């Protein structure tokens, strides 16, 4: 299973991001979507798991979106939340993947057998941070995440 992970689009869904997500069986958006059109494009590519970010809470169209989601991702129990500060300090055992956004800093970090993934920001560049998405390849008990730069 190939999963695309994107965050912090802030209303800008770059063609490079769409290209990187084509062929994914699932897309996960970790918040700060910015515009409902971003959701429409992503849903046309694959099933979508999505949470709203701190900038989305003010937008009426984002009101129905969850702040926190738990779902199965190819047999891996996953927690999706925009800001890592909102991840419970003591996660229950079934959660094996934690996906966040907010910082705009891409991160792949394995802690005690649990993956913490931040795909970085795919939207407008912030400071000198890279513009990125992530892809996760899942084959049973094997999970391989990677960060994909979108701009040189």
Residue pair 46/4 in contact (Cβ under 8 Å)? The answer is yes
Residue with token string 């999970």: 143
**Distance in angstroms (rounded) separating the CA atoms of residues 11 and 105:** 18
Over residues 7-16, mean pLDDT: 97
**84 has a pLDDT exceeding 90:** yes
Q: 23-80 pLDDT, tens per residue?
A: 999 999 999 999 999 999 999 999 999 999 999 999 999 999 999 999 999 999 999 9
User: What range does the domain containing 121 cover?
Assistant: 2-149
pTM score: 0.96
Q: For residue 135, what pLDDT is reported?
A: 98
- CATH code for the domain in which residue 27 is found: 3.60.21.10
Give the number of domains in the chain.
Answer: 1
Pair 67, 51: CB distance under 8 Å: yes
Dihedral class, residue 31 (left if φ above 0, else alpha if ψ from -120 to 50, else beta): left
Cβ neighbours of residue 53 closer than 8 Å, sequence gap 6 or more: 7, 8, 30, 31, 32, 33, 82, 83, 101, 102
């Amino acid at each position: 299973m190939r999963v695309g992970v994107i965050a912090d689009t802030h209303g800008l869904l770059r063609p490079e991001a769409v290209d990187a997500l084509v062929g994914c069986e699932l897309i996960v958006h970790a918040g700060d979507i910015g515009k409902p059109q971003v959701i429409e494009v992503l849903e046309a590519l694959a099933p979508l798991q999505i949470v709203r970010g701190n900038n989305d809470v003010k937008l009426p169209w984002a009101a129905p979106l969850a702040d926190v989601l738990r779902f199965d991702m190819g047999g891996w129990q996953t927690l999706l939340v925009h800001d890592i500060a909102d991840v419970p300090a003591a996660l229950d055992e079934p959660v094996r993947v934690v996906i966040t956004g907010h910082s705009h800093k891409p991160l792949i970090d394995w802690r005690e057998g649990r993956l913490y993934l931040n795909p970085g920001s795919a939207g407008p560049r912030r400071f000198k941070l890279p513009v990125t998405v992530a892809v996760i390849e899942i084959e049973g008990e094997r999970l391989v995440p990677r960060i994909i730069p979108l701009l040189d």
